[in-house]
Amino acid sequence: MEFGGDWTAEKLERVRKYLGAYTTALKNQPFRLTYIDAFAGTGYCGKDETPDLRTIPELPDSETQAFLKGSARIALEVDPPFHRFIFIDRNARQCAELNRLRDEYPDLRNRISVVNADANAYLQELAARDWIRRKERAVLFLDPYAMQVDWGTVQAVAQTHAIDMWYLFPLAAVNRLLTKDAEIDPAWRHRLDRVFGTGDWEAAFYQRRETQTLFGEVESVEKIATFEGIKDFLLARLRGEFADVAPNPLVLKNSRHAPLFLLCFAVGNDKGAPVAIRIAQAILQK
């Protein structure tokens, strides 16, 4: 489904509804429930902090500021609450701001962990432990502002079989790197490989054509990727890792109705997948 207008509020509202349904459904189960927010407090702190953000003209500054706030606070207000909250950010100043949440939510202060680290590295380390044996379950909100998430992180999360993931996939940023003639800068190719975890995106997003001319046969490459095609490719990749994936991700658009992100949901545990997917599908449905 698609919508325009205040997409930041819509995104957070979808996640808020799922978090409430999640803790309610599992409140009488013998699990320790954790909420994990990667890129939790990232701010608009200058070019060194946001190397990709300014390459997305579809994202006006006012909407950027709204987008980068809110998810941590929403999670802390869920009732019944999570047993633990992990907020990850590589920027020390933003971590200091996140630490102040302990004062705003004194009843939860001992449950809040703020981690000053690279989200990919920390999540892969966190996912490596035995979640099933420890009877732990979690919801991860993976919300980069551009193409910071490595596929290795997505794989690590899926392999826990215990973490449900909301992934705000950078649809506009990916499309912008896909040039019309496939003459893509090597650094951009590397970034696309890391985001998708494969180089197969090139065969999916480009088509080779052979044209007969007076001077013989000429081969050309044409971009066939659309936002819908990028979505389908991503969902197929996610289905290869997780127990199940909601088939109806939400296309988030800015105030000018240009697609920005794709809000996707994937569930890690086979046993809990049917219920989780049913809830997520209803929440994603406009």
pLDDT at 26: 94
Please identify which residue in the block is written with the tokens 């927010």: 37
**How many helices and strands (H and E) does the chain possess?**
12, 11
Minimal CA–CA distance to 267: which of 3, 86, 21, 51?
Answer: 21
pLDDT at 208: 84
Q: How many residues does the chain have?
A: 286
Give me the DSSP letters along 85-116: EEEEES-HHHHHHHHTHHHH-GGGGGGEEEEE
Q: Can you list the domains of the chain with their CATH numbers?
A: 2-196+226-284 (3.40.50)
pLDDT at 41: 61
Query: What is the C-alpha end-to-end distance of the chain, expressed in Å?
Result: 6
pLDDT at 228: 96
pLDDT at 50: 37
Each residue's pLDDT tens digit, 10-68: 788 899 999 999 999 999 999 999 999 998 763 322 333 333 433 444 444 444 444 44
Mean pLDDT of 237-260: 92
Each residue's pLDDT tens digit, 151-182: 999 999 999 999 999 999 999 999 999 999 88
| Residue 256 pLDDT level (bands cut at 50, 70, 90) | confident
With residue 275 as reference, give the H or E element that holds it: helix 273-284
Mean pLDDT of 111-135: 93
Average pLDDT, whole number, for the chain? 85
**pLDDT at residue 145 greater than cutoff 70:** yes
User: Under DSSP, is residue 171 helix (H, G, I), strand (E, B) or coil?
Assistant: helix
Q: Is 147 exposed, middle or buried (0-12, 13-18, 19+ CB in 10 A)?
A: buried
| Residue 132 pLDDT level (bands cut at 50, 70, 90) | confident
